[in-house]
Amino acid sequence: MRVLRVLLVVLLVTFALLQYRLWLGEGGSRSVATLQEQVQQQSRENAGLKQRNDALAAEVEDLKSGEAAVEERARSELGMIKPGETFYRVVEADGGSTAPDANAPAAADNSDTP
């Protein structure tokens, strides 16, 4: 009878240790859930980077294949215009701001002229 009780205690302790390891230990369900979350986060990041890479690859292909992309980029980023074109800039008034536009040319002071 005593041997049976010792065996039962040993089995219960072993069961408790195995349960601890299953739920809380290294490689247990908690660490698996953490790793799955990290995998999902990395997958989302990879998808965003793939989208960015695809956009850059398309832009590179446009730049290699024709002048239209180069012309569009020169117009938008450098403010270039073709010969014979007229450039118009529309400036919206700020809500009561009287500060001059930093990009606008300075007005000539004609008060000295007779």
Whether 17 has a pLDDT exceeding 80, the answer reads yes
Q: Are 69 and 58 in contact (CB under 8 A)?
A: no
Q: Are 104 and 91 in contact (CB under 8 A)?
A: yes
- For the chain, give every domain's residue range: 2-78
Whether 114 has a pLDDT exceeding 80, the answer reads no
Model pLDDT, residue 67: 79
Which residue has tokens 């700020």? Answer: 94
26-81: per-residue pLDDT in tens? 777 788 888 999 999 999 999 999 999 999 998 888 778 877 777 887 888 888 88
Model pLDDT, residue 72: 80
Model pLDDT, residue 57: 93
Q: What percent of the chain has pLDDT over 70?
A: 82
Model pLDDT, residue 107: 45
Distances in whole angstroms, Cα of residue 69 to Cα of each of 62, 64, 82, 83: 6, 9, 15, 18
Mean pLDDT within 85-107: 66
